[in-house]
Each structure stands twice: as C-alpha cells, then as structure tokens.
Structure 1
Amino acid sequence: MITAALLCFLFLGSSSAFEGLEPWSVGNETVGPSKECTCEAFLPDSIFPMGELELLENTIVQINHKLELEISKITMFESKLVIYTEKIMNLTALITVIENDPDSYTQGQIEDVKILIKQLEALIMELQASIMISTEVLISIRKEVTTIIVVLTRLEATYDKNLVLITRREYIKLQQKLEECERRHNEIFNPNIGSCNHDGISRLSKPMISQLNGHLNSAHRYGGWGKDSNPLPGYENMYWYAGFPDTLVNQISVYADYYNLIMRQPMRTHQLYINSATDWRGIGNNYILRNNTLYYQFRSPFSMGKYNLTSETGVYRVVPKASDKFSYHYSGGQNLDFAADENGLWVMYATDESKGKLVLGKIDEAAFAMKEVYETSIFKPSVGNAFMVCGVLYATRSVDVKTEEIFYTYNTHTRRGSYVSIKFEKFQETYVYLDYNPTDQKLYMYNNGYYVSYHVWFQSKNTQLLI
C-alpha cells in the first residue's frame, strides 16, 4: 500500500503527473512549518465488510454449539427409546399373562400393574415434550443456516471470494452436521422408513430452504430437485437437479451428496439433446429420478419418457387417452406428473373423457406400460400439485400467499377419495414442483428457483405420535 507521505512526495514533486485525475486534487495539499504534507484521499466505497464476515463466523460457532447440544439430546432420546421399548414389551407380556390367568393375581398385584402403566405414560409424555422442543430448535437452526448461505452468496458475488472461502468451508461443515442431526432425528421419529403401517400424513414441517439453485439464478423458475426414490447401491446419498428459464427440459445434473449439491459441483450433467438423432428433450416440471433413470414428459410425441442415465438411452410410451390440455394451477405444461412412493411408480394426468378430472396411473416399471388406472373426482387445473405416499394420492391447493393445503386424498387400495385439510407454509406464493421421496420421507419442492423441502409426519395406527 502506498503511504500518504509517499503520495504527497509524488504529488509535490510532479503535480503535472496528476492532472486530470479526479481522486486527487492539486488544491488539497498543504505544507506546514515542519514541511510535513497532508493529503485528502478518496477511498473506494467497496471496502470488504470484515465485521459482517466476523459476525457470520461467530454465528456459525454458536449454531455449531447448538447442534452439538441437539446431537447429544438425540443420543439420549435413542437410549431412552430403547429402555422404554423394553419396558413396554415387558409390561405387555405381564398383562398378557394376567389376562390368560386372572385368578392367579390379587387385586393388589393388578393395582401395581396399573401404577406401572401410569409411570410409563408419564415417561412417554416427558419424552414427547422434549422431542417437540428439539424439533422446534432444529427448525430454528435451519432458518439461521439459510440466512447464512444467503449472506455468504451475496458476499462471494460482491467481494473477494478468497476472503469468504474460509467462512464458506465452516458453513459447509455446519450444513453437514445439521443434515446428520436431522437424519438421526428423522430415523428416531420415523423409524419405519419404507413402511406403510400408518394412517396417512398428519402434518408437514416448516419449509427448509437449502439455497438458490445450481445456476444461482432465480429466473430458472421451472425445475425440480431431490433424491433418487430407489437408488442404485452406492448412490444412496446422490441428489439431482434440473432447472430452466422455461418448461423445456434438456438436461439433468447429478451430485454425489448434499455437500456437492450446495457447492454446485455436479458429478455429471446429462444432456438430453446432442443432435437431431439423439433428441430426448422433455417438457413440463414433474419429473423424478428412480433407479438412476429419469421419468418425465416426453416432448414429441406427447408421451411419457424414460431416460436411463447409466446407459444414456431412452424410450417413450404414449399414455392411453392422456390429454395435453389440462395442466396444474401454478404453471402450464404439467400434463404428465410422475411420482414414486413405497408402492412403486405412478403418473398423474387428465383425459378429455374425464373432462379434466385427475386420473392416476400405476406404471409397470419393467414393461414401462400402464398397469392400472384410477379416476379421481377433482378437476386437475384447480390443483396446485400432487404426490403419492403408500398408494395414496395427496392433492394441494393455495389457501393464501403464505399457505398451501393438502385438501384431497385418493386411496388406491379402497378406490375412495376424501377431502381433508392439512395446511403447511409456503416459501413463496407459487411453486412448480412437489414430490415425495420414500427413502427419507421428505417432500421436495422447487419454488421459484430455490431448493425447499419438508419433513413428513404420519399418524400412527395404534398410538399417538410422539412429535
């Protein structure tokens, strides 16, 4: 850095050298009795906000401490659940013995059993309260982490990236720890991932906003993201993303894990169009990845497409009677909506024959053909989006600018539809992608360029949920 004294020396020695330069003015120099020179310097406005970066680093440290606390709580919850499960099993066995031979037990012994039941109920209620607090803390931490990534992205785009790099690394470590904490939390409170032994969705968590998409461009409002619903061995942590400024689908990027998704470092980006001989482009938003294969709406002819990312080969099948006139409420081009759940692969659409009512088709994955068809009673253009869980269709609609509602379900096992009201918070007013993933029981939403997700909680068949 040039010192003020040196600048002054240069200035006085050759004032002509500075003619025409705005930052320094000939009339600004003064020489005192001691022959010392002072100059006015006009510094640029874009000084790196070190204070803001230090504040971020302190926040990361604080959040890290919170996460350490939550992880220790989860470890405690795990041990308590093991103990309580053992107590319940022993109590169940004792009650069974009493029921089989009630005359062998006195009234006093039966009262003792009742006391044991009440004690166990009290323990479960205590654990339930702790879990609810822990859930709220994790949601709060997720919001703080989202704020951090927004600030980091702004700093990185505006100032020297190298100065932000250390903080970003710390953030990534924090993000990984948060994901691990949420995963363990999810495993405890959704221990039967892949099981359908429940009575359907009871509620959704607050929206968890990961960050702006891989293009760092909110103009890419069409797209989707998530995980493979039935991953190949070794690809269980893989994520995918596809985003576009319009409804034309021409590529999909896959990421080794969540870290690489956030760092925008794809393992590979698959192009669906190379030349006229290999044109596998699609249209719309509601595509999914299953068995490392992209299922999507093929562009021409109007049909369902299947593109294998491993072999880079595709095939399409026309859906009998499917119409391209009935899209979802939030955007056009969403005529074929693919979904995957614990029971397999599905496609949602409408027909002229159904007069726009939503039709659900079960796909035979091996033959890539329609296996069974169900007609619902809801008008597809009135639906915000739809997804499948355990053979049950869930349809959403807007309540207001901040609230969405699951308002209708259709059970393929009973062939019956019903109206419900499960409200959840939207990140923004509209969105174009919403799909459930059975591998982690999460909903993945693509919301005007942002990655958004929700934890899904189910109503237990036999006991009240702990959370």
Structure 2
Amino acid sequence: MIITLYFFALMSSTMAWGRVGLWSEGRVRNETGGGSKDRCACDAFLPSSTFPIGDLVVVEQAAGEISHKLELEMGKLEDYESKLTAYAEKIIKLTVEIERMEKNPDDYNDADMDEVKVEIKQVEALIKELQLSMRGSSTVFESLHVQITAMVETLNRLEKTYDKNVVLVTRREYIKVQLQLEECERRHQELFNPNIGSCAHTGIIKVSKPIVSQLNAHLNSGYKFGGWGKDSKPVPDRESMYWYSGYTSGSIVDIRFYTNYKNLILRNHFQHHNLHSSWIGRGNNFILRDNTLYYQINSPFGLAKLNFTTMKYESRVIPKASTKFSYTNSPNQNFDFAADETGLWVTYATDETSGRMVIGKINEPSFGIEEEWQTSVYKPGVSNAFMVCGVLYAVRIVDIETEEIFYKYDTKTKEESYIRVPFERFQEKYSNLDYNPTDQKLYMYNDGYYVNYHLWFNHTTKDTVEPPFLLT
C-alpha cells in the first residue's frame, strides 16, 4: 500500500482545522492506467508550504510520552499510599508491643525480644526501599518539567510566527499534560510534605527545582514586572483561586483572578479589577490575603490595601520608612509584604538603620504595625525576602542561574543566623518572590513567567504528631 501526504495551503482562516499530527485518513482508488490500486491518503492543512509541521509533530509526540509517564507515576503514587498505610499500621503494632514489654519485662524472654528486633529491621528495610522509589519519582518529575518547558517555548515561538489557530489545538494538548503533571505533583507533594500548616520545624533545608507553568496571561515576555500566586488566607469557595498582575513597568494598576490552575493556564479569568487612578501603586512585592490586595503606594509613600469583597481602600504611612533602599535588581520595592502561618508582615529599611531591614508585624483589622524587629542584613544586598512561621528568610544572587537563601531572623527568639540553601532560577531576573502557607510553596514571577518551588523543612516532634519517618 502506497502512503501519500497531500499538503494544501490554508487560504482562509475560516477553513476547518483537524488536529495537527493526527492525520485524517481515507482510501483513494487509483484510476490511472495499470489497473485500480488502493492507497491511503493523509491530509494535513497548513498555513503555508513552509510551516514547520515537524516541530508540532515533535511536540505532540512528546506530549503523548509525557502523558504515559504520568499515568505510570500516578499508579506508583497509589501504591505508595497503600504501602504507607500498611507500614504505619506495623509501626503502631510494634510500638504497642514494645510498651507492653517495658511495663511487664518478666513476661517476655530473649526469643520474644529477638522477634521484635527482626520485625523492626524488616520495617526499616521497607521504609528505605520506599524512600528510594519516591526519590526516583522526583527525578522523573524534574525530567518532565524540562520537556514541558521545551514544549511551551516551541509553541510560543510558533504562535508568534504563524497563524495562532494552527497552534491552538496543540497548545490545548500541552495544557492537558501540564494539568496532569500538576495533579501528579500535588499528590506526590502530599506524601512528601504531610505537615502543611504546621510550624513544628527548625527551618527550610531544601528548595525544589523551578516548576515553570508558562508565560504570563498577556503572552508577552515584555511584562517583566508583576506577580502571581494564591491567596494566603482564602475566603470560602475560593481556596483554589489564583491571581496575576503583570506590567511592562513597576506600576500596579490592575489584577486578574482565576477560579483554579486550569483557568490560569487557559488565561480564562473570572474577574479583572482595574485600580482607581488614585489607588495605583508601585513596586512588585504585593500579595493577596483574605481577598485583599496589599501593596505599596508612593503618594503618599506608604502601605495600601484594597478589599475586593467590600471594595474598601485604606492606606497607612510609616514615618521612618525610607524610599532609598530597595532590592538588588528591583527598584521601588521599598515595602515588601509577606504572609505566613502566623499572619501578615511587611519589611522595609530606614535611614536610622542605614538600610538594614526592619520586620513589621501587621495587625490586619487595624492595618497598623503592632511590633517591629531590626535585623542586621543590608536590604540593597538582598534580591528578595519572605516569611515562614515568623522567620524572615533573605535571598541573594550567587550566579547567573542560582539564588541562595543565606540569612534568617526568628522573630520569636530574636536570633539571626546565616545559612546556605541554593536554588535555581528559570530566567535571569525576577521581580516577585513570596511564600504561601496554604501549600508551603514559593511563588516567583521570573522575567514574565509563572514559576513556583516546593520547600522541604527540618521537622521536629515538638507540638505535633509526626509521621514515622521523613521523606527527603
């Protein structure tokens, strides 16, 4: 059987499109001399004879491979969950048995003790096996992110150069795969990090590789300033909501809301608020908490909040705060809002502290500063900062690809220390970095791209019941 591909130029944008890469097939009878012969005809409609169909085919093949890998990983996660339940039951039984032995040692002989020791070693071996398997899954996720990032870059390039209708179908396939990966990672994260909301840890010990969602909702790499993420204290029925606000300069003039991650990726917002001309802000370290935008204003220089439930606007001036000190690569970020498990914060620098950062705890109902802490870290030497469980973490540039969490200040103990927790950037510069306590992730707006990171903490047994082992 002879296979022939017929390529037709797309003369009108109104012509119907089939899915690129999955050719429509039909049997065509050969009427020219030499007798009749069946052949298979596959038609692909292209905008021009030079359209790089090979690139789309590669993207679609990659999407299929990734989807298959994700199905395998989801199967593994179900297996992990059942094993974790079984292991936990074994550990509980062993714990009860050991407590009995401690209370009534005369009722047990050496053989009983040896039997318990063997069971403990068996459980330890099973746990080690499970840890290795889950680490293997993490490696798979990192590999998939690299593939997906390459896919979206190809689609963005084609969309800018050729008819967007051609690329749209393949982009939808990419979005499906991206959502599959997000769901798979979410379940994986729940196994790795079952203590969301708990502060029973001694701090951050690891940051994941950058998880890149896509370019901003404007699909424009020139929108380098802005932010994105989730509400750190969501109102009822908006727990899955995402927000985005991006610009070509450091102004804050509007914000878009999306019901969930899928609609964020599809750029399908359900609300778009334009700020009143007298409410426009500056800088990029704004956050959303309790359906309220907290941000910096320059006239007068101070703090501002806009509640989107009541549309009530408020502002506050901090007399000592200075306009002279901002982050390394981000002008006009004099105030940096942050939210964590303990509430709402803002950091800034003053002339009195010679540019060293001050941490302020915000009383949310009154919108006033209820307590302050002075640190020794110089703000212009910091690329960004965020709060976790009442602890300030400051970040600095290591090289063109790497950031490092290098400093922490605990507001509970008033102790500060220098640490080294490196992590990668997706692009060279970023304008917004914030922690969200609802999922214990870092959200970064990185040269126009939505990027986020998983965090690992050094968990303790204080004030909480921990799982029988820690997966790292």
Q: Per the shorter chain, which TM-score range? A: 0.7 to 0.9
| Structure-1 residue corresponding to 2:237 | 234
Aligned residue in 2 for 1:336:
335
Structure (1 or 2) with the greater strand fraction? 2
The within-5 A match list for 1:363-402 is 363-402=362-401
What is the 5 A alignment of 1:156-175? Answer: 156-175=159-178
CA shift for structure 1 position 161 = 2.5
Question: Could you tell me which residue of structure 2 aligns to residue 11 of structure 1?
Answer: none
Task: Give the secondary structure class of the aligned counterpart of 1:285.
Answer: strand
Q: What SS does the corresponding residue of 2:68 show, helix, strand or coil?
A: helix
- Tell me the residue number matched to 2:274: 271
Shift of 1:207: 0.7
Aligned partners of 2:167 and 2:378: how far apart in 1?
A: 50
Percent sequence identity is: 56
For 1:174 and 1:272, the matched residues in 2 are separated by 35
Q: 1:284·1:333 contact (CA, 8 Å) conserved in 2?
A: yes
| RMSD between aligned residues | 1.8
Deviation at 1:163, TM superposition (A): 2.4
Cα shift at 1:55: 1.9
Distance change >3 Å, CA 368–CA 116, structure 1 → 2: same
Deviates more, 1:228-237 or 1:146-155: 146-155
Does residue 1:254 correspond to 2:254, yes or no?
no
**Residues 256, 272 of structure 2: 8 Å contact kept:** yes
2:458 counterpart SS class: strand
Compute the displacement of 1:464 (Å).
6.1
Residue matched to 1:74: 77
Match of 1:140 in 2: 143
CA contact (8 A) 1:143 1:208 kept: no
Q: Deviations over 1:174-200 (max 9, x none)?
A: 111111111111111111211112221
Q: Secondary structure at the match of 1:284?
A: strand
Per the alignment, residue 416 of structure 1 pairs with: 415
Counterpart in the other structure of 1:64: 67
Question: 79, 92, 95: which one pairs with 1:92?
Answer: 95
Give the drift of 1:44: 10
CA distance in 2: counterparts of 1:44 and 1:73, whole angstroms: 42
What's the CA shift string for 1:385-409, capped at 9, x where partnerless? 0001111111011111111110001
Larger Rg: 1
Shift of 1:124: 0.8
TM-score by length of 2: 0.86
Aligned equivalent of 2:359? 360
Q: Distance in 2 between matches of 1:256 and 1:157?
A: 27
Aligned to 1:460: 459
Shift of 1:143: 1.8
What is the number of equivalent residue pairs in this alignment? 423
CA distance in 1, matches of 2:283, 2:48: 45
Q: 1:149 aligns with which of 131, 148, 152?
A: 152
Q: CA distance change for structure 1 residues 329 and 106 in 2, over 3 Å: closer, same or farther? A: same
Structure-2 residue corresponding to 1:308: 307
Unaligned runs of 5+ in 1: 4-42
Match of 1:213 in 2: 216
Whether contact under 8 Å (2:428, 2:447) holds in the other structure is no
2:346 equivalent in structure 1: 347
1:313-345 Cα distance to aligned partner (Å, 9 max, x none): 210111242212111111210110000111111
1:322 aligns with 2:335: no
Identify if the C-alpha distance between structure 1 residues 306 and 111 changes in structure 2 by more than 3 Å, giving closer, same or farther: same
Aligned to 2:189: 186
